[in-house]
Amino acid sequence: MSLIQSRAVVEPLVHRLSLRPDEPKLPSVDEMVAALRPAEPMHCIRPGVIAASAFAFRHGFKGEVLYAVKCNPEPTVLRALWEGGIRHFDCASISEVQLVRRLFPGAEIHFMHPVKSRLAIREAWDLHHVRDFVLDSEEELEKILAVLEPDARPGLFVRIGLPETGASINLSKKFGATPDLAARLLAMARGRAGRLGVAFHVGSQCLEPEAWRTAIRLSGEVIRASGVRVEVLDVGGGFPVAYPDMDPPALGAFLQVIDEAYAELDMPGVKLWAEPGRALVAGGGSVVVQVQLRKEAMLYINDGVYGALADAGALNFRFPTRLIRPGHNDVGAPDAAFGFFGPTCDALDVMEGPFMLPADAKEGDWIEIGQVGAYGTSLRTAFNGFDRALLVEVADPAMLETGGKPV
């Protein structure tokens, strides 16, 4: 037996696509719960919602749309995005590159992580025809150019750090060059770049459209200071979705600000790119969990912060919730506020909420938790052995729409 073994932390989700193999249409979440009585968390993918979100973003954004694969790499989700017209993918690891190339031989793949290993750069270039790489330091630029042949002309994108935007996660604390360094990197890269770009990210779940205007203006200042020609401005991701305590402006408000700021740049030769993740897939996924115990206002459920609900713990996101009792869903009890404990033995596996559910919620009930299409799958771990889950495709609408209410 070899001493060296490789294994993914979390095994692929078990797929059940319909109640019967020959069923002509997708079932509902309630039908799947009634049929399967799932004892494990059940991830419910809404391919129609995902495809429609991708279509809407593509037709509203005046540039190229790159899906941020890290947000949800499930093949079912990626195929739904492809159905919605997505042909470009923002990958952050060689594993994501391999996955996208395996599913979509004709896709355009862009390696948009600012720090990459030499082996990953070489494999992406040689085996998967990846031609675009992002960087935010002289060291990363030198690494990319050292790995590739002297006559290679990669797409090189300089990522700029931004001031605080109020986003849920400030990514500029980890990545992004200062304006002076960014201008210098552009000048250094120009001679070797097949195409040259500037990139930024306003932060995850950014509720303020004006953050993009500020970032685009800063990008223009950097480009002019560099003194070189730039072909692409990548406005990143961060486009928000609704949660019960967050009701951001509609997507059109963000795209309008981007259009206005781009026009102010007066750089008609610069093309726009964007890297949405959450905005395309959050509403396209939910997870059905089962209550295993109730202690007053705390429900012990079979998924948690080490599974699909990391954002409910670390970021204290509130998700839309509803109780499912097959055969008698007309529960008459008024809603009450609950918190959740996840299934692991760790006391940090707690989600304060509050999550609104009928006051008589009890052991054995199922709960559907919405808006987990973003990161609900990709952040799952195998901690304590709680890594088993089902994945089903359903026809339901999103549980929550921006500007709307839970269904």
The answer to whether 57 touches 251, Cβ cutoff 8 Å, is yes
Q: How many domains does the chain have?
A: 2
Q: Exposure pattern of 35-59 as b/e (b: 16+ CB <10 Å)?
A: eeebebbbbbbbbbbbbbbbbebbe
- Report phi then psi at 116, rounded to 5: -135, 150
Residues 301 and 272 in one domain: no
Predicted TM-score of the model (pTM): 0.92
* Class of residue 266 by CB neighbours under 10 A (exposed 0-12, middle 13-18, buried 19+): exposed
The radius of gyration of the chain's CA atoms, rounded to the nearest angstrom, is 22
Residues 176 and 27 in one domain: no
Residues 276 and 338 in one domain: no
Candidates 282, 104, 90; CA nearest to 205 is: 282
List of residues 6+ apart from 202 with CB closer than 8 A = 162, 165, 167, 211, 212, 215, 236, 238
- Report phi then psi at 234, rounded to 5: -100, 110
Candidates 203, 201, 210; CA nearest to 249 is: 210
177 within domain boundaries: yes
401 within domain boundaries: no
For residue 366, the enclosing domain spans 15-45+285-393
95 within domain boundaries: yes
Where helices occur in 200-277 by DSSP H, the ranges are 210-226, 251-265
The reported pLDDT for the residue numbered 25 is 79
8 within domain boundaries: no
164 within domain boundaries: yes
The reported pLDDT for the residue numbered 12 is 54
Among the three residues 249, 281, 313, which one is the final residue of a domain in this structure?
Answer: 281
Report d(CA 232, CA 356) in Å as an integer.
45
The reported pLDDT for the residue numbered 20 is 44
346 within domain boundaries: yes
400 within domain boundaries: no
Partner residues linked to 196 by β-bridges = 156
SS3 at position 212? helix
The reported pLDDT for the residue numbered 167 is 86
CA–chain centroid gap for 358, Å, is 31
Q: What angle do CA 166, 81, 58 make, to 5 degrees?
A: 65
The answer to whether 32 touches 78, Cβ cutoff 8 Å, is no
Residues 295 and 232 in one domain: no
The reported pLDDT for the residue numbered 401 is 77
106 within domain boundaries: yes
The reported pLDDT for the residue numbered 329 is 57
Report d(CA 400, CA 252) in Å as an integer.
17
Among the three residues 281, 308, 324, which one is the final residue of a domain in this structure?
Answer: 281
Residues 94 and 190 in one domain: yes
Residues 66 and 155 in one domain: yes
Residues 211 and 269 in one domain: yes
Candidates 152, 150, 162; CA nearest to 132 is: 152
Residues 35 and 86 in one domain: no
Read off the CATH number of the domain in which 142 is found: 3.20.20.10
The answer to whether 318 touches 353, Cβ cutoff 8 Å, is yes
Residues 265 and 327 in one domain: no
The reported pLDDT for the residue numbered 240 is 96
- What does the CA dihedral 79, 83, 87, 91 come to, rounded to 10 degrees? -30
Q: Tens-of-pLDDT digits for all 407 residues of the chain?
A: 344 433 345 555 555 554 444 545 799 999 999 999 999 999 999 999 999 999 999 999 999 999 999 999 999 999 999 999 999 999 999 999 999 999 999 999 999 999 999 999 999 999 999 999 999 999 999 999 999 999 999 999 999 999 988 889 888 899 999 999 999 999 999 999 999 999 999 999 999 999 999 999 999 999 999 999 999 999 999 999 999 989 999 999 999 999 999 999 999 999 999 999 999 999 999 999 999 999 999 999 999 999 999 999 888 899 999 999 998 756 668 899 999 999 999 999 999 999 999 999 999 999 999 999 999 989 999 999 998 999 999 999 999 976 433 33
Residues 25 and 105 in one domain: no
Read off the CATH number of the domain in which 327 is found: 2.40.37.10
Residues 302 and 211 in one domain: no
Residues 360 and 370 in one domain: yes
Q: How far is CA 47 from CA 50, 77, 270, 279, 394, in A?
A: 5, 7, 33, 14, 8
Report d(CA 147, CA 170) in Å as an integer.
31
The answer to whether 367 touches 289, Cβ cutoff 8 Å, is yes
Among the three residues 254, 281, 308, which one is the final residue of a domain in this structure?
Answer: 281
The reported pLDDT for the residue numbered 170 is 87
